[in-house]
């Protein structure tokens, strides 16, 4: 395995334990004969210490690490003499015994931090770098937790999650359809659904009395405050109910 623990997992109770971490280099700091490297993954940041007096060649290799290098580090968990209360792993550090550079990186076009120096256009151009930032990752995690909670709740109420097709026939709704040309039927097109309206009505008629899905919808219309070409909605339908039952 590339790692035994994540970069946000280790605590003071793990002191003395030999571990292997893998992640991105957040920053490198040189102080006297020691080099401190912050290694980051999506779970957090852990400080790794390279001591020139212990292993000069290993410390020299750490001095050449750059931001966003992907590294694998093996070492022993130790209590930090200068603790950092701002991060969950701030009570410990890793005394490095081995360094493996998995991938080098050019200098990133903006800092991979919450308060980045990259503007919107630059961050969208390098979206894969922007997604490494804590604030963006937190949004993805929140969305994941929300959808999982929706599924748990509706499942507990007897709803079935049923996936409906994305390539459908055009239906008369409020906006224009996005269309997809058919290779097998020249000159004919599929439409991307503006909503699962017709399909979920079929499900109701077929006896699926409690249906839901977390579904993509596509509408070719001008942008407004509450409209965009592609969006996700929680779609529900129930049979044999009155308004007071909801």
* CA dihedral sign of residues 192, 194, 198, 200: positive
Give the integer Cα–Cα distance in Å for 40 and 99: 15
pLDDT at 225: 76
Mean pLDDT of 95-123: 94
What is the mean pLDDT of the segment spanning 213-235?
A: 88
Tell me what pLDDT residue 135 has.
93
CATH number where 176 lies: 3.30.930.10
In this structure, the answer to whether residues 16 and 99 fall within a common structural domain is yes
| 181 domain-assigned | yes
| Tens-place pLDDT, residues 128-183 | 999 999 999 999 999 999 999 999 999 999 999 999 999 998 877 778 899 999 99
Pair (138, 217) in one structural domain: no
Shared domain for 122 and 201, answered yes or no, is no
232-241 contacts, C-beta under 8 A, 24 or more apart: 233/195, 234/150, 235/195, 235/196, 235/200, 236/154, 236/159, 236/211, 236/212, 237/200, 237/201, 237/203, 237/204, 237/210, 237/211, 237/212, 238/209, 238/210, 238/211, 239/204, 239/209, 239/210, 240/209
Q: Is the pLDDT of residue 221 over 90?
A: no
- 82 and 25 housed in the same domain: yes
Residue that terminates a domain, selected from 118, 150, 182: 150
The mean pLDDT of the chain is 94
Look at residue 6 and tell me if it is in a domain: no
Neighbouring residues of 88: CB distance < 8 A, sequence distance ≥ 6: 8, 11, 44
Determine, yes or no, domain membership for 4: no
Confidence (pLDDT) at 240: 92
Domain count along the chain:
3
DSSP secondary structure, 173-227, as one string: -SSBPPEEE-SSSTT-EEE--S-SHHHHHHHHHTT--EEEEEEEEE-B---BTTB
On the question of pLDDT at 84 being above 90, the answer is yes
Q: Please, which pLDDT band fits residue 55 given cuts at 50, 70 and 90? A: very high
Please compute the mean of the pLDDT values over residues 79-90 and round it to a whole number: 94
Beta bridge partners of 26: none
**31-40, pLDDT tens digit by residue?**
989 999 999 9
Please tell me whether residue 67 adopts helix, strand or coil conformation: coil
Question: What confidence tens digit (pLDDT) does each residue in 88-104 have?
Answer: 999 999 999 999 999 99
3-state helix, strand, coil in the chain (%, to 5): 25, 35, 45
Per-residue confidence (pLDDT) for residue 226, from 0 to 100: 75
Binning pLDDT at 50, 70 and 90, where does residue 79 land? very high
Asked which of 46-50, 154-158, 222-226 is least confident by mean pLDDT, the reply is 222-226
Q: Are the C-beta atoms of 1 and 38 separated by less than 8 Å?
A: no
The pLDDT-based confidence of 216 (bands split at 50, 70, 90) is: very high
Within this chain, do residues 167 and 146 fall inside the same structural domain, yes or no?
A: no
Q: Quick one: pLDDT band at residue 222, thresholds 50, 70, 90?
A: confident
165 belongs to a structural domain: yes
Distance CA 47, CA 45 (A): 7
What residues make up the domain containing 20?
A: 12-103
Percent of the chain predicted with pLDDT > 90: 84
């Amino acid at each position: 395995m590339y790692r035994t623990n994540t970069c946000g997992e280790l605590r003071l109770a793990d002191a003395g334990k030999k571990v292997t971490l893998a992640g991105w280099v957040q920053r490198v700091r040189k102080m006297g004969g020691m080099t401190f490297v912050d290694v980051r993954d999506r779970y957090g940041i852990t400080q790794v210490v390279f001591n020139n007096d212990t292993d000069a060649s290993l410390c020299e290799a750490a001095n050449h690490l750059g931001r966003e290098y992907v590294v694998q580090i093996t070492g022993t968990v130790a209590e930090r003499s200068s603790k950092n209360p701002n991060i969950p792993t701030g009570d410990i550090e890793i005394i490095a015994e081995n360094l493996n550079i998995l991938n080098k990186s050019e200098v990133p076009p903006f800092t991979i931090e919450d308060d980045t120096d990259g503007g919107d256009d630059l961050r969208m151009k390098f979206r894969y770098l922007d997604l490494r930032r804590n604030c963006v990752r937190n949004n993805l995690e929140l969305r994941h937790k929300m959808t999982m909670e929706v599924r748990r709740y509706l499942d507990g109420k007897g709803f079935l999650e049923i996936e409906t097709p994305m390539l459908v026939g055009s239906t008369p709704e409020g906006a224009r359809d996005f269309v997809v040309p058919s290779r097998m039927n020249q000159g004919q097109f599929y439409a991307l659904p503006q909503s699962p309206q017709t399909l979920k009505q079929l499900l109701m008629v077929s006896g699926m009395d409690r249906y839901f899905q977390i579904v993509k919808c596509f509408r070719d219309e001008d942008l407004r405050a509450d409209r965009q070409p592609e969006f996700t909605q929680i779609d529900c339908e129930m049979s044999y109910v009155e308004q007071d039952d909801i």
